[in-house]
Amino acid sequence: MSQTAIPFEFERYLQSQISAGTGPDMNEMIFAYIPGLDASQPIDRNQGLPPSNQWVHRQDIDQLGKMGDNALAYSVVIPGNQPAFTFNAIFLRDKAVAGSCGFVVHKAQETKELGSALTRTLVMEYNGAAALAGVTVDAGTWQIDFSARLQGMDEDHRLACLDNYGQVGFVSGFDVVQQADPNKYNITSGITYVGGLRAVLANDVLQTISAKPNALWLDVYRDGTSLSKWENHVSIIASGSAKSDYVDSQGRFHYVAHIADIAADGSVVDRRQRGGMQEHLAADDPHSQYPLKGDVTPLRNLYFSYNYQSALILLIPYIDSGKHSESAVIGRMEFRRGTELSSDRLEVLDLCVKSSYNKTRYSMTRHYFDWGWVFCLVSYKGKAWLALKSTSNNVQQAAIKFSGLTAFGANGYDPEDQFKIITFQSLDPANYPPTNPEVASSIIDVDAHQSYMDETGSPFFSGSNPPEIADIPELNSELSERITVSTLVGVVMKFSTDVPRVGFIKGARIELLRSDYPKLWAVVEAAGNFTEQSLIDAEPDKYAAHYGTGDGVTTFTTPDYHRGHYHRGATPGLTYGESQGDAIRNITGTATGVQHKSSSTGAGAFTLTNSGTVASNLVDGTSSVWNHSFDASRVVPTADENRPKTINTYIYIYHGEEAA
């Protein structure tokens, strides 16, 4: 973050220059390093240039141009061969006038490196700047002007809001309430969008309206300078004449919204429009220009009371892979003979039937067995449908009720055909002819894809085309249990805290009852990964990774993973779970007694100790004998075991039971 300011010194300088008949001439840029500078704090305008011992670089202005009538851009380019310097402040001054200071910048610390060029442009803004300084060249001749791009971004954002909220969309507030004084009206704070600009009335506004009838209008425009934050400006206007959007003398677009009318008797007529997003969300068909993905029906009641042997019910279009469909039937279907209050046959099916761009999924859960229904494929009006087909050959006087959601979005199909009941065989065809007997030849049973209740009353699904688990939440717990029991029992896991967890036992040679941990015992027994307890007790390190037979009848013991072993994948020739003692690759070397006339020294892991003198054939007749000792701890860390850099964790075994 940086701070900028025009100091009071510039005002004195400017007046002096004007009095002398000349204009301001900021001709030098000074880079400084100010110790302890907090660039987040506002600049004290009483301050001018810092002491010269804080200047780290100074350079004449290379380019000067105007940015409109009230702003000047000063640029310097510091070449790459300039030695490195660090700065956190920049100043403009007229080097011909002692003590002059026209502009101050405080910023985060930055370093100009040797070999890299640095460009800096300071924009100084004050009324009539270009004319006073006599600058006619536009800064756009050498500077990249981002104003057009920024204005384009503002306009894109305004248009996006216009799409969402419409020309006028009041979100909250702007209630107009007459006060005790009949000429006073309070407009509450709130938010609205007008012409795509977000208008925020931060506080209530008390408006005086003496002339009636009248009206209240909201006027919003966006404005700012090249150095300031651009904001939406909001004002409340009382005008009996109709107001509309307009452009003011400075070229700013104003967008106007009608808030309320004030009648002759002082009463308030609300003219706020919700529009935009609120209107969009409330619409039954918010995008009428697009075809619906599927007509959704929450409840269907279907009836027929003829003496048919066989019938089928169309569910969803059966679309080949790669063709877009997106149709669905998800809910419960009840079949009764008679009425809902009096029926002698009943069957309930839970259905989950979907088609998407790449496949069709379907499942059925049955709650009662009487008539019987199965899935089938049938050709109707030349189109393939997934349907329910009766299996009882006796579906007369049936009342069918469906509760749930249906959606229909297949191209080329008639949505009215969904849930159509087609009869294709009758006990009395003369009196009750089938509606579409010809479909019988096109029916393809797909029993392999259906799902029924098993003998325990639990749902199951076929392996050839099971439904998606996410579509049938009831299976989540079953699937989780199946994965837990069959896959994870016996898995070894590391934890960062030594806290008992449900389903886990610490891997530290604990004796367990086989009856209390049947899942873990079954895995261990089937794998044969256990050893006689007496062998383990005699050599605990060797058999640390083995389960123990316990008492041989009712108990077993867990491996002991807390004896300091390191785990690695078994290499060829080694048995799984086999332990190895610690070892290092051998270090060899030789050292023999060496006689020296003078003292010797040892370095690194070697230590030399003098053990006396012996006669020799040297000139003086004696020499020293030195003993050579090797001690690795002189140069590397040592311990009573071999180990790499280590993190010690807590190791648990998953046993799969609900309680330890």
8 Å CB contact between 148 and 156:
no
pLDDT of residue 452: 41
- Most confident of the following: 508-517, 569-578, 622-631: 508-517
Confidence class for position 413, pLDDT limits 50, 70, 90: confident
> With b meaning 16 or more CB within 10 Å and e meaning fewer, what string describes 270-289?
ebbbbbbbeebeeeeeeeee
Is 624 or 331 the better-scoring residue by pLDDT?
331
Residue-wise pLDDT tens digits, 94-110: 999 998 999 999 999 99
Torsion angle, alpha carbons of 79, 83, 87, 90, to 10? -40
Is 594 or 392 the better-scoring residue by pLDDT?
392
8 Å CB contact between 163 and 155:
no
Phi first, then psi: give them for residue 394, nearest 5 degrees. Answer: -160, 80
Residue-wise pLDDT tens digits, 194-203: 998 999 999 9
227-236, Cβ contacts within 8 angstroms, sequence gap of 24 or more: 227/4, 227/71, 227/123, 227/125, 230/154, 232/197, 232/198, 232/199, 232/200, 234/199, 234/200, 234/201, 236/187, 236/201, 236/205, 236/207
Above 80 in pLDDT, residue 299?
A: no
Residue-wise pLDDT tens digits, 213-232: 999 999 999 987 655 678 89
Q: What is the mean pLDDT of residues 106-118?
A: 92
Q: Measure the CA–CA gap between 643 and 566, rounded to whole angstroms.
A: 8
- What secondary structure, in 3-state letters, does 17-82 show? HHHCCCCCCCCEEEEECCCCCCCCCCCCCCCCCCCHHHEEEEEECCEEEECCCCEEEEEEEECCCC
CA distances from 399 to 137, 346, 350, 402, 436 (A): 88, 10, 17, 10, 20
Is 29 or 130 the better-scoring residue by pLDDT?
29
pLDDT of residue 9: 93
Q: What is the mean pLDDT of residues 591-612?
A: 60
8 Å CB contact between 577 and 583:
no
Q: What is the mean pLDDT of residues 488-492?
A: 84
Q: Measure the CA–CA gap between 164 and 463, rounded to whole angstroms.
A: 47
262: exposed, middle or buried (C-beta count within 10 Å: 0-12, 13-18, 19+)? buried
Q: What is the mean pLDDT of residues 203-211?
A: 92
Q: Measure the CA–CA gap between 295 and 628, rounded to whole angstroms.
A: 95
8 Å CB contact between 547 and 490:
no
pLDDT over 90 for what percent of the chain?
A: 29
The β-bridge relationship of strands 547-548 and 530-531 is: parallel
8 Å CB contact between 323 and 317:
no
Q: Which residues contact 395 (CB under 8 A, 6 or more apart)?
A: 308, 309, 310, 311, 335, 371
Amino acid residing at 125: E
